A and B are shown apart, each in its own frame.
Chain A
Amino acid sequence: MLDFVGFPFFDVSPVFPLGAILFNFLFFTLAIPIEAYILTNRLKFDKRTSIFYSIAINLFSGAIGWFVFFLIEPILPPEIRSEIVSYFFFNRPGGNTSLLILMMTAFIIFFSTFLVKFFLLKMALMSLREPGQVKQEAQIIGRKTSRRLGRMKLQNTSILTTVLIGNSLSYTAITIIILVITTLQK
């Protein structure tokens, strides 16, 4: 479970993750407009709603990501944790991490955020529907009409591709920025 250390009352931590928080903030400020733009363009929402959807899926997927990280961090073996500490404190992996593991982690992170964002978008769509409307729709589906069902499916796949495109674009943007920053540093 989450590992909470005893609260340090008077000794403030000797290190502060300012950069990480700013990076996270930068990530949101990049990803939210990009994904909102993709949503308006492909799913034809109006601007206000698509910005809302984009904010919701990004904030909640970010929170879920952090939560998973805090959940697995205390149970990681010390070797992997020291790698994370090395990367987090000094921007360099400890040396004996293989590229394969890094790539795998990146892939897992990308696809899991994509899936999470897809489900979050569906939930966000549901959250804005009026309660009466849902019943109506359910009735219509219940009454059959395979064409309607087909359209629902189509909508689902188009949501999926839209989220995929938006997610890829925002990840590309943040990767480019991180690369630029690291090359500028050297």
Chain B
Amino acid sequence: MQITKDLFGLLGIVESIYERIKKIFIPPRAYSWQTLIYLSIFSWIMSSLAGYPIKNVIAFFGWAFLIAGTSWYTTDQPILIPGTNMPIGAVITGFLVSVFAFGHEEDIITTRTIVLWPTISALITAIPEFFEGSGIDYKRQIPKAEVRQRIIVLVGCCLILSAWIQLYFTVDKWARQYPSLLFDDFSRSAFVIKTGTRRQLPENGAKILNRIQPLVQQQLEATPWSNVERWLIEAPNTKNSLGRVNALGRQVIQDLSRQSGKKVRENQVESLEELRYWNVDARVINRKGGGYRLDLLASWDGPRSANKSYYLRKSCQIDPISRPADVSTVNIKKPGERITVAEIQCDRAPKPIPESLPPKQ
């Protein structure tokens, strides 16, 4: 018995839900908000079938119907956001208007949509206060002073909210322009917090060194030892001139910035701003038992949390080896002669070192 009673109760619930759904979906009159929503769905379907120029026109009307229908429905039974005089409906309508106004075909929701959403919602909240009556017969009016006060405060708050959202996107843009900052310590920053984990390496610095290394190897591998020694003397920057490694570095950075660039306008490329703050240098150290150690260094001169700068180091071992001369060798005096050439081996990954650059030798 109990079970059948429960079953009937359940049926009752289902029936009431059905009634409610019916009330929502079936328009009570021809002139109601449901009609508008149906019109918008209809125009959406039609626009997906239509060809190019007409498609946009129908889609435009679809949006107009959708916005009108939503705003009508939500002003019929306004539910306020707690603590404010803003109906939830205005927020939904505001979102639709914002998407409609700032969305593109490629990406429907742009940052502008999100940024201006609160402001548009506040304006939508304000509009009905300037009209009296409902439906078709309305007349314009200026709301009471008290209502005006509330509207002004609401619009002000929403403007500030929009500004904060835009601030988030601006900071995000900065973080993308200066990805190496994420390697730094944010614990003492008063204005921003880091949401991700700390990076192991500043990405671009590591990329620069990793691209210099094959160039250096290419220039030194299997070259006669005397040429290598001359090259190594010219490798680091001196007081008066920039070294060979720095020249390679600048070339690499230029390539990187060309690759990282996104097209802003025609022929105008905006590259990663942080690349200008990477400086490349080298140090050559004599090793015991012959050979040299070449340190490729990339130092960071941009924004940082500590007074001291930091740099990345990638070390290469350069050893002389002797091997029989072959066809590629020039200046062979007699066949079978052995010549000394360089063999170069580099570390796998660069190491970050939290100091300023080591002194020159």
Contact = CB atoms under 8 A, between A and B. Distances in A.
Interface of A: 2-9, 12-21, 23-24, 28, 52, 55-56, 59-60, 62-63, 66-67, 70, 73, 78, 81-83, 85-86, 88-92, 94, 124, 127-128, 130-131, 181-182, 185
A15 B303 CA distance: 15
- Which applies to chain B's interface (DSSP): helix, strand, loop or mixed? helix
B153 interface: yes
A21 B164 CA distance: 7
Given A15-B175, A82-B273, A4 B193 contact: no
A85 B180 CA distance: 12
Contacts of B302: 82, 86, 94
Given A18-B193, A89-B181, A124-B152, A4 B110 contact: yes
Given A6-B107, A20-B167, A85-B303, A127 B148 contact: yes
Interface residues of B, number: 54
A185 B192 contact: no
B227 to A, nearest CB: 40
B117 to A, nearest CB: 12
B186 A15 contact: yes
A60 B156 contact: yes
Contact of B153 (A4, A14, A55): A55
Contact of B276 (A60, A78, A86): A78
A6 B174 CA distance: 13
B171 A19 contact: no
Contact of A59 (B110, B157, B174): B157
A181 B164 contact: no
10 contacts: A4-B111, A4-B115, A6-B111, A7-B113, A16-B195, A17-B164, A20-B192, A59-B160, A88-B171, A90-B303
Nearest to B171: A17
Nearest to A12: B195
- Which applies to chain A's interface (DSSP): helix, strand, loop or mixed? helix
A15 B195 contact: yes
Contact of B174 (A28, A56, A88): A88
B32 interface: no
Interface in B184-198: 184, 186, 188-196
A14 B303 contact: no
Interface string B169-186: 111111111100110101
A91 B191 contact: yes
B25 interface: no
B192 A17 contact: yes
B8 interface: no
B200 to A, nearest CB: 14
B194 A14 contact: yes
Given A15-B193, A63-B163, A73 B184 contact: no
B171 A55 contact: no
Contacts of A14: 175, 182, 194-196
Contacts of B176: 5
A81 B272 CA distance: 13
